[in-house]
Amino acid sequence: MSADRTTTPEGDIHLFTANGVHYSLVRELAGEGPGERVLAQRHTPGGPGGLAVIKCLPPAARMAERRRMLEEARVARRLDHPAIARVLHVDTRARRPLVVMEYVDGLALEQVLRRAVRRHKPVSERFAAYVIAQAADALHYAHTLKDGHGRRLHLVHRDVNPSTLRISKHGEVKLTDFGAVFTRLPGRQRTPAHTLKGTVGYSAPEVLSLGTPEARSDIFSLGVVLVELLTHVHVLDLPHERPRTRLSGGFQRLLGKLWPEKSAWVDPARLGDRASRLHARDVEKVMAAVSAPLRAVALQALRVDPAERHATAAAMRDALRAFLAATGQPYGPREAVEEIREVISMASQARGEMETSPEYVPHEFRNGRSVRH
C-alpha cells in the first residue's frame, strides 16, 4: 500500500479515495497472512467518519489469494449483525486488492486474557458468560444466513479464538476476521489438500482430521475460549497430560503432513489427537472451581462428537444468558468496561508498575470516564 500513499497539505498520509470517502493512514497493524493491514481514518464530506481496517494484498498476489479475498468480502458483505464487524468497501480489481472493514476500537479478548493471566486471576464468570454469549449470538446469525433465494449458506467462521473477538471501548463484543470462512457459496475457493485454515489450537477434532467444517465446529472453538477465560488453561494443552509417542486413529498418518496457515505451537496432528481424546473428566478437572452451570456449557461445547454438542450456537447463547439471569444482577457493556479497567489496573499493580504496554489501549479502559451506550 505504501506505493499508493501521498501526503496531504495537512500532513496526513492519504491512502486512497472510494465512493467519496478519503482514507488517511493512522498506523500499521500487525497480522498474519499475505499483504498489509493498516488502521485508517475515514474522511467523509461531513467530516471524520470513524476508523477502518484496510487489508491490502501485495501487487504480486497470486490469483488464489485474490480469489480468497473476494470470497471473504462476498461473505462479509452479507453479514449485518451488531456483534459482527462490518465490511465498508471492497476493491478486488485494483492493482492492490483491498478490503475495508469497520475498526472495533477497543481490545482483542486475547489482550484482556493476557492481562488477567498477569494478575493471576481469571475474569469473572459473568464477564466470560457475557462475552461468549454475544459471540455465540453472532455465530448463530452467520450459521443460519441465507442467500437471496432463501437457501442456507452454511457459513462456518473457522477461526474463533481470543484474537478474533474484540471488546469495544463501549463494552460491545464483536466477532471479526472472516478470512478463514467456509461456505457453500457457488464458486467458492476450495482449501488446498492438507491445509488447515484458522488458528489450529482452537480447532475442533473433525477439522483437524480434515473433515468438513460445520456450525458445531465453531461451537467447539468457542468452548475452548470459554474454558481459557475461566481457568487460564488451554484444554488442548492440559498441564497434567503426558505427550504420546504414537498418536491414535488416523492422526499418526497425518503427522508432519498437515499445513496450518497460521503458526501452531505443536504439530496439528498432535493437537487433533488431543482434541479427539478430550474427555469430560479432563474438562471437569480443569474447571473444578467454576460454577456448575458454566461447567455444563463448556462440557457440552467440547464434546468430541459434534452431534453431542449444543445443537446450535443459539442454544449455547441461551444457556449462558440463563446463567447471567440467574445471578440476579445485570451484566452488559457497562459492566464489561468496568471489569476490563479493573483487570488492567490489577495487572499493572502485579508488576509494580503503570500500564506501559506498547499495545494501544483506549482511555475508556484506563480511567473512570462514563461509558456511552
Could you tell me if residue 259 is inside a domain?
A: yes
CB of 229 closer than 8 Å to CB of 113? yes
Q: What integer pLDDT is reported at residue 162 of this predicted model?
A: 97
Residue 358 lies in a domain: no
> Domain check: are 29 and 78 in the same one?
yes
Question: How many other CB atoms are there within 10 angstroms of residue 36's CB atom?
Answer: 16
Average per-residue pLDDT for the chain: 86
Report the distance separating Cα 129 and Cα 327, nearest Å: 11
Report the alpha-carbon distance of residue 357 to residue 359 in Å, rounded.
5
How far is 39 from 362, CA to CA, in rounded Å?
Answer: 15
Helices (H), the chain: 63-76, 109-118, 125-143, 205-208, 215-231, 251-254, 268-276, 280-286, 292-301, 313-326, 333-350
Q: What is the pLDDT of residue 353?
A: 56
Q: Give the per-residue pLDDT at 19.
A: 85
264 in the same domain as 178: yes
70 & 122 share domain: no
The CATH number for 204's domain is: 1.10.510.10
Residue with cell 464468570: 125
| Mean predicted confidence (pLDDT) in 171-184 | 89
Q: Tell me the C-alpha distance between 259 and 277, whole Å.
A: 21
pLDDT at residue 130 in the model: 98
Domain holding 25, by residue range, is 2-102
Question: 49, 81, 102 — which closes off a domain?
Answer: 102
137 and 60 within one domain: no
Place of cell 480434515: 210
User: Rounded distance, CA 158 to CA 278, Å?
Assistant: 19
Both 135 and 266 in a single domain?
A: yes
Q: Is the pLDDT of residue 195 over 90?
A: no
> Residue 7: is its pLDDT beyond 70?
no
Question: What digits encode the pLDDT tens for the residues 206-220?
Answer: 999 999 999 999 999
In a domain, 202, yes or no: yes
Do the domain assignments include residue 356? no
Q: Find where cell 481514518 sits.
A: 41
pLDDT digits (tens, 9 = 90+) for 292-337: 999 999 999 999 999 999 999 999 999 999 999 999 999 999 999 9
pTM over 0.75? The answer is yes
Does residue 367 fall inside a structural domain? no
Whether 162 is in a domain gets the answer yes
CA atoms within 13 A on the CB side of 352: 0
Write the DSSP symbol of residue 258.
-
Q: Domains in the chain: how many in total?
A: 2
Q: How does pLDDT run across 97-139, given as a tens digit for each residue? A: 788 988 999 999 999 999 999 999 999 999 999 999 999 999 9
Query: Which of 60, 83, 102 marks a domain boundary?
Result: 102
Are residues 307 and 227 located together in one domain of the fold? yes
Specify whether 94 is located in the same domain as 121. no
Which of 85, 102, 119 is the C-terminal boundary of a domain?
A: 102
For position 87, which CATH number holds?
A: 3.30.200.20
- Residue 176 and residue 269 in one domain: yes
Residue 340 within any structural domain of the chain: no
Can you tell me the distance from the alpha carbon of 180 to that of 199, in angstroms, rounded to the nearest whole number? Answer: 9
Q: Quick one: 266 and 188 in the same domain? A: yes
Rounded to an integer, what distance in angstroms lies between the CA atom of residue 336 and that of residue 124?
A: 10
Same domain? For 234 and 143 the reply is: yes
Give yes or no: residues 210 and 234 share one domain.
yes
In whole angstroms, how far apart are CA 336 and each of 129, 130, 281?
Answer: 11, 8, 31
- 71 with 143, same domain? no
In this prediction, residue 369 carries a pLDDT of: 44
For residue 49, the surrounding DSSP H or E stretch is: strand 47-56
Q: Is 346 a domain residue?
A: no
**Nearest CA-CA partner of 173 in 125, 225, 137:** 137
